[in-house]
A and B are shown apart, each in its own frame.
Chain A
Amino acid sequence: MTLARARDVCTWRTFWPVRAMRVAILFGAVCAGGNAGQMSPALAQATVDALSITAAWTRATPPGARSAGGYFTIENPGSEADRLVAASSPLAARVEIHQMRMQGGTMTMRPAADGVALPPRSSLTLAPGGLHLMLMGLTQSLAEGTSVPVTLTLQNAGDIEVRLEVLGLGARGPVPAGATDGTEAGSGR
């Protein structure tokens, strides 16, 4: 059913009460979407996967550095559990999810082989010193002020595009909310 057809129906050209009622029930949501224009895709997105990613960041790399860490907060407000299983980026040969641990002064990093669980109504933050994306085989240095496109693959929600803001060389955390806009799921930028 095309948008034009739906709009057709909504202008009540077919004035029969039974048909009108059925149509109203079926196409109520589409009408609202059609009238609002752009809202239609976002609405469809919201009913499928309500995950949102905010405060996505990384650090500028020293010249010649071949790897970088990626950090962000992912929120799953829905009632279905999900799992972050993979990631990729055009700026890296390979992206993995790693867990860093400090054990008595020794730093260790291990790939999270089965990905990371996202329980219902929960939020997870990837940050220095713990879980993080490991971007390996960087194709270029990361310059402060730019952003890195990354595709996160979730078991149920599928692929989500995010952009990691590139902060300074020694940045310890993301820029506070309000100073820069976080990247929302489904925005596709």
Chain B
Amino acid sequence: MTALRIVRYATWGAVALVLVVVAYLTWHWQQAGGVDRLAPVAIGGPFTLTDQHGATVTEAALQGHPSALFFGFTFCPDVCPTTLFEMSGWLERLGPDADRLKIYFITVDPERDTQEVLAEYLSAFDPRITGLTGTPEAVAEMIKGYRAYAAKVPLDDGGYLMDHTASVYLLDSEAVFRGTISYQEDPDTALAKLRRLVDNS
């Protein structure tokens, strides 16, 4: 009997503890502003990279206009060229609003994707798409800041592929993360998301 009583008290104690913790976290969350911001963790951060024309680009470039960011690499046979193609299509369909939206293609493979490689590769797509590369450290920092995922996958012949986040990040004119467009998302849905982003920024 005694043992059972101990167990019962201990369990009630645990329940009480959980309630106290939840109450505290809720209060803390309310203090932090509730659902005003999409994510409680910051997405973004400072970066220093080079575009395909050789100009230095930092996080300041994201201020003052909506942006769409895509992390990929030129050795990618499917997701990357098709997403870039879709993005070119979005720019066309947005019409004059497209001038306000800036699109960035950030390489997750800076060792192979140099400035020259990016310049050549992106010449097949809308010239308003800017490619960004840099030192492996600088690129890694940007990937980390945007909570994106990129990892090398070695192949038998010594080459490698990259696993990477395939979604497009949408940022408003204050460079605040506002959502994503998934790979192979319905084109009309994607366009609607972009219009909303441009209209609200």
Task: Give the interface of A toward B (CB within 8 A).
Answer: 59, 61-69, 94, 96, 100, 102, 105-111, 128-129, 132, 134-136, 169-170, 172
Considering residues A66, A94, A110, A132, which has the most beta carbons from chain B within 10 angstroms of its beta carbon? A66
* Given A62-B122, A129-B78, A169-B124, 16 extra CB contacts under 8 A: A59-B81, A61-B81, A62-B74, A62-B125, A65-B74, A67-B76, A69-B78, A100-B79, A105-B182, A106-B165, A108-B163, A109-B153, A111-B155, A170-B85, A170-B86, A170-B89
Chain A residues in 8 Å Cβ range of B27: none
Cα–Cα distance between A6 and B62 once the two chains are bound (Å): 80
A63 and B155 contact, CB distance less than 8 A = no
Minimum-distance CB pairs A-B, first 8: A170-B85, A62-B124, A64-B120, A69-B77, A107-B166, A108-B163, A67-B77, A105-B167
Across the interface, do B77 and A170 meet the contact criterion of CB distance under 8 Å?
no
Tell me the minimal C-beta distance from B53 to chain A in angstroms: 15
**CA separation between A107 and B79, bound complex, in Å?**
8
User: Do B153 and A65 touch (CB < 8 A)?
Assistant: no
Given that A105-B180, A110-B153, A170-B85 are known contacts, is A63 also in contact with B123, CB under 8 Å in the complex? yes
Bound Cα distance A61, B81 (Å): 8
* A105-B167, A106-B166, A134-B77 as given contacts; A128 in contact with B121, CB under 8 Å: no
Which residues of chain B come closer than 8 Å to A111, judged between CB atoms?
155-156
Closest residue of A by beta carbon distance from B150: A106
B161 at the interface (CB under 8 A from A): yes
Is B146 in contact with chain A by the CB < 8 A criterion? no
Instruction: Map CB proximity to A onto B96-135 as digits: 1 under 8 Å, 0 otherwise.
Output: 0000000000000000000001001111110000000000
Contact A107 B85 (CB under 8 A): no
20 A-B contacts, Cβ less than 8 Å apart? A59-B82, A63-B121, A65-B74, A65-B75, A65-B77, A94-B157, A105-B166, A105-B167, A105-B180, A106-B165, A107-B163, A107-B166, A109-B163, A110-B153, A128-B78, A128-B82, A135-B77, A169-B124, A170-B81, A172-B82
Q: Is there an interface contact between B163 and A106, defined as CB atoms closer than 8 Å?
A: yes
Which chain B residue lies CB-closest to A96?
B155
- The answer to the question of B183 belonging to the interface, with a C-beta cut-off of 8 Å to chain A, is yes
Interface residue B178 (Cβ < 8 Å from any Cβ of A): no
For B122, list chain A residues within 8 Å (CB).
62
Contact of B183 among A67, A107, A132, A136 (CB under 8 A): A107
Cα of A105 to Cα of B163 in the assembled complex, Å: 11
CB distance from A51 to the nearest CB of B (A): 25
Given the complex of chains A and B, what is the CA–CA distance between A160 and B22 in angstroms?
64
Given contacts A102-B183, A106-B164, A169-B81, contact A62 B123 (CB under 8 A): yes
